Structure 1
């Protein structure tokens, strides 16, 4: 009995002095690559049942309310390729909110664009500092990747409102979802995307428009890459047509407020 008490005391000491949960090690770190199953005729996309269960368990998002013609426009900004300003111009002209997930490189190199995003009412989200696959790094490295970007953002902008995380490379595990949720982040995946990030494989704005429109559905969390010239060119037409079809663009903050009201 005495030996058991000594063991419990030792475990509690680890928890108290290191801040590491003694139960965290029991969570699976099996690495998953996010994927979704696009459907036709504006029917909602789906994903693997165990992915959906994990996202729900840890308060994440990959699709909104599918009974409402609402859309969530998000961009991944790992580096600047000369098109973000044009995207911001379109969003400002059409009064559309978006979320831009940025890395440490982008935050440091594109301060003027970050300022524009904030001043024009958009959300700046966390895409980690160096863009590693989070399941492949330790809890300590994971926390540093997220916190260092968050702190740099606060120092640069004076704001401490970075609460949305797009997992780098779209990889995740139960451990990473639990850890980042514990840190106060909402993991944001997506239910609409296409292969748009290869800058030497752009196929023109009509191709981008057709790809996006063929996968649109109520509640879609749309992932576009800002490095794509096709996206920048197609965006005005995409927005106009979707609004014509009765869709409205919402911010992630509006989704979060709805969730909070549901659980009050």
Structure 2
């Protein structure tokens, strides 16, 4: 009986020792992981701080440069807005807007079709859409078919004097123009580690000073020459006919944030016919040095 108690006590001691060792190792492991996480968070914050500081420096210089300039143009095709690819090849660039706020849906049918048919597109994503669709955004940003572009922070027309478009009041100063572009640029860059190269404002309206400001921020302003879905209001036949009206070098504007619309159905019907005519879909960045402004080129 005594031997049994000794053996039981010895076994209990061994179990306790093993538990202590395991707990200690696990505690050390957790401590190490926590330390790595803290270091990564510090590195991320440092990176974001550096980007923000560079942006602040650019902002001050831009405000000083444009503070006394008065715009003379207002619209979708003002000086500097890129509307076409300068080419005789049968290529077209599909651009899709994701506008955000109450319009933050996701047209998965459209995007899945593009993936299935390997159709590249440039996706202009608004800050609010990213916030409400972060997982989808990250998935799209990792897909080599797509280029992520900047669709602004509050989805506003871009004006230095508060002009409006479609009853939406635009930015009211040089500083607000910079903020509308830069805040979403920073968001995209932080999430993807890539600075967006292209910008389109909410409503696609600008004055020419605002366009120059965007250029100074290192992004090109992209308009269109083919209205693909009229803000996702076209019915299927209208979407199809709009796509079939393209010519060599066309830039198409449509939307990917209205799954309730006929945009996907119209695109699905139009694409096979366009391909049968010899047209190829391309990314803007593949023809970056051939992007032209309708106003400057007189087209």
Q: Does the TM-score normalized on the shorter chain lie above 0.5?
A: yes
8 A contact 1:132–1:169 mirrored in 2:
yes
Aligned residue among 115, 134, 137 for 2:158: 134
* Counterpart Cα distance in 1 of 2:188 and 2:71: 29
Aligned residue among 245, 255, 261 for 1:225: 255
Indicate the residue corresponding to 1:68 in structure 2.
Answer: 89
8 A contact 1:28–1:174 mirrored in 2:
no
Aligned residue among 233, 237, 252 for 1:206: 237
Indicate the residue corresponding to 1:103 in structure 2.
Answer: 126
Indicate the residue corresponding to 1:40 in structure 2.
Answer: none
Deviation at 1:82, TM superposition (A): 4.5
Taking structure 1 as the reference length, the TM-score comes to 0.74
After TM superposition, list the pairs within 5 Å mapping 1:81-96 onto structure 2: 82-96=105-119
Taking structure 2 as the reference length, the TM-score comes to 0.66
Change in Cα spacing, 1:132 to 1:16, as seen in structure 2 (3 Å) is: closer
Deviation at 1:232, TM superposition (A): 0.9
Change in Cα spacing, 1:155 to 1:241, as seen in structure 2 (3 Å) is: same
1:109-150 Cα offsets, whole Å, 9 max, x none, are: 111221222222201111110012211221111111111111
Indicate the residue corresponding to 1:160 in structure 2.
Answer: 194
Change in Cα spacing, 1:113 to 1:17, as seen in structure 2 (3 Å) is: closer
Q: Secondary structure at the match of 1:189?
A: coil
Q: Secondary structure at the match of 2:149?
A: strand
Change in Cα spacing, 1:246 to 1:194, as seen in structure 2 (3 Å) is: closer
**5+ unaligned residues in a row in structure 2: which ranges?**
1-56, 163-171, 292-299
* Counterpart Cα distance in 2 of 1:160 and 1:83: 23
Deviation at 1:67, TM superposition (A): 1.4
Change in Cα spacing, 1:69 to 1:202, as seen in structure 2 (3 Å) is: closer
**5+ unaligned residues in a row in structure 1: which ranges?**
1-14, 36-50, 260-264
* Counterpart Cα distance in 2 of 1:21 and 1:140: 6
For the pair shown, which has the larger CA radius of gyration, 1 or 2?
2
Deviation at 1:197, TM superposition (A): 2.1
8 A contact 2:198–2:220 mirrored in 1:
yes
Q: Secondary structure at the match of 1:197?
A: coil
Change in Cα spacing, 1:18 to 1:167, as seen in structure 2 (3 Å) is: closer
Q: Secondary structure at the match of 2:227?
A: coil
